[in-house]
Amino acid sequence: MNRTKNIARILAFLLLIGGVAVLLGFVGHTRTDAAIQRIEIKGFDDLELQFISAERVENLIMDASPDILGTPVIALDTRELEAEITAIPHVKSAKVFKTMNRALVVEIEEYDPFIRVIDRVGRSAWIDRNGVILPVSKHKALRLPVVSGDFLLDSKWLTSRVSVHADTLRDHVLQSVYAYGKVVDADPFWKAQLQYSEVNAHGDFTATPQVGQHTIVFGSVADLPAKLRKLAIFYDKALGSDNWNAYAQINLKFKDQIVCTKK
């Protein structure tokens, strides 16, 4: 009797092993044969894409791999697709992965521009918070502080991107523009008040504020936070709430003093 039971156990175990092997073979065969059926494109953390459309990304993928729909999941090189997508100027990073339900998912992180620059011949670009110069999007208008002045944007930057910190950057005034923009962007009041500024070839800044019929001369970007604190005190103590149009110019470029020109 015991011998019969042992034989039965062995047979049951062999049948179980055989079943698992068949199942694994079936799953492996299914994975090998599974083909991409659709493409899903979205922003990181489900954020809405601002500067590029999902349609544009999908068209780029289809141009790069015309037969991608129907391609076996196992044969797809996602790294190559990520490289193609991150070549788009407004894309900071892209993650491409395949799902079990045969979808190709593309998650995109876009750059975050915070200032617009206009050079001396009227060409325009954005700068993001990490100092990357970007072409202005044709599909999205942003209300950003503007700095124009005596510098030149390389024509290549109108279709690609470069860092203001790059060694190959010819016009170092843009580094001062970036530093100026970072200080202004850090304070909601100054971000709203200093919507338009100009810079000369020496890196000296002059702003035309939103409130008050005067110009503000900052000079260089050096000690800009201290200059803005000094200006805030002047606004509060000297101008109050009803004297904003008393001066034609407020000059902060000289250390420890404010020089004002009356109208």
* pLDDT score at 86: 92
> Do 128 and 222 share a structural domain?
yes
Full domain range(s) for residue 238: 113-262
Of 60, 95, 110, the domain-final residue:
110
Query: Which residue numbers in the chain have pLDDT < 70?
Result: 1-33, 73, 168-171, 240-242
Q: What is the predicted pLDDT for the residue at 219?
A: 95
Domain final position from 110, 140, 157: 110
- For residues 89 and 130, membership in a common domain is answered with no
**Structural domain includes residue 71:** yes
The vertex-185 CA angle with 179 and 189, nearest 5°, equals 135
Tell whether 88 and 144 lie within a shared domain.
Answer: no
**Predicted local distance difference test score (pLDDT) of residue 202:** 92
Do both 133 and 201 map to the same domain?
yes
Q: Tokens at residue 145, please?
A: 């502080």
CATH of the domain at 215: 3.40.50.11690
- Three-state DSSP string of the chain: CHHHHHHHHHHHHHHHHHHHHHHHHHHHHHHHHCECCEEEEEEHHHCCCCCCCHHHHHHHHHHHCCCCCCCEHHHCCHHHHHHHHHCCCCEEEEEEEECCCCEEEEEEEECCEEEEEECCCCCEEEEECCCEEEECCCCCCCCCCEEEECCCCCHHHHCCCEECCCCCCCCCHHHHHHHHHHHHHCCHHHHHHCCEEEECCCCCEEEECCCCCCEEEEECCCCHHHHHHHHHHHHHHHHCCCCCCCEEEEECCCCCCCEEEEC
**204 and 124 co-located in one domain:** yes
Check which CATH number belongs to the domain holding 84 and give it. Answer: 3.10.20.310
What is the predicted pLDDT for the residue at 30?
A: 40
- pLDDT of the residue at 49: 83
Total number of domains constituting the chain: 2
Q: Are residues 42 and 152 in the same domain?
A: no
Are 135 and 185 members of one domain?
A: yes
Whether 196 is covered by a domain: the verdict is: yes
Q: Which of 84, 110, 136 is the last residue of a domain?
A: 110
| pLDDT tens-place string over residues 30-72 | 444 578 888 889 887 777 788 888 888 888 888 887 888 887 8
**pTM: predicted TM-score of the whole model, two decimal places:** 0.79
